Amino acid sequence: MVKGNRGIDILCSKDPTAKVKILVCYYQPWSLPSEDIFFPIQAAKSSSGYNLQIQGDDIGDNISSRNAVFGEFTAWYWGWKNIKTLYQNLEYIGLAHYRRVFALNEPFKCETAIPKKYFPEIEGYETLVMQKLESKDIILTKPVLFGVDLKTQYEKFHNASDYLLLKEVMHEIYPEYDKSLTEFFENDNTISLYCCFISKYNRLVRQPLEML
């Protein structure tokens, strides 16, 4: 865990009373979102060697230097530890990517190739988010259906020992989740991928990250 030497910079905020923010992870120059609901953040800034002139994940309480291990979760960690400093009234928070964002109103359609470095403009995005969350705890990507359970799928493309280590650590620290973990990985074959989500801050963001 690293404590930054500088204070938290508000580089993209216009309304400190905002109740919903969606972090958008950047690793390279790309178009920035126009809607204030989005919060662009440069992930892996401490080791990238360049400055995108947006909020970095390397100040305040951060793990930016460990991005090679944790990926976009260094930006997510930054949001968990620091974003409430900027938006004390925050009730909802999300994570998206510079090339990946939820289309909440209807499937995105275009008749020509999508331009490089393009970030779609979705009018009234915050209203759409709030409408979705009135009846849901979390917004996720459409689930992917595999022909095998998630454990088998993971073992086919990754290190099988990762899952065994996860089970061991979870049992040691949170044994009450043994049944849920096994049910999810060994008896289910659907999963929402891409590490994109929007949720209520306290219920589905702060608690899981404290666990991790």
Task: Per-residue pLDDT tens, the chain, 212 aa: give them.
Answer: 333 334 455 455 567 888 999 999 999 888 888 888 999 999 999 998 889 999 999 999 999 999 999 999 899 999 999 999 999 999 999 999 888 888 776 655 555 555 666 676 777 888 888 888 888 888 999 899 999 999 999 999 999 999 999 999 999 999 999 999 999 999 999 999 998 999 988 776 666 777 76
| pLDDT of 169 | 93
Whether 118 and 76 share a structural domain: yes
- Same domain as 163, residue 66: no
pTM given for the model = 0.84
- Do 203 and 186 share a structural domain? no
Domain shared by 108 and 17, yes or no: yes
Same domain, 198 and 155: no
My answer on whether 132 and 106 are in the same domain is yes
Residue type present at position 208: P
Q: Which domain holds residue 179?
A: 144-190
- Tell me: do 39 and 126 sit in the same domain: yes
In sequence order, what DSSP letters do the residues of 131-199 get, joined into one string?
Answer: HHHTS-SEEEPPPEEPSS-HHHHHHHHS-HHHHHHHHHHHHHH-GGGHHHHHHHHHS--EE--TT-EEE
Q: Are 72 and 197 in contact (CB under 8 A)?
A: no
Q: Are residues 121 and 17 in the same domain?
A: yes
133 and 150 belong to one structural domain: no
In the chain, the number of structural domains is: 2
Q: Are 87 and 18 in contact (CB under 8 A)?
A: yes
Do residues 60 and 95 both lie within one domain?
yes
**Residue 113 has what pLDDT?**
54
Q: Check residue 32 and give its pLDDT.
A: 86
Shared domain check, 204 and 176: no
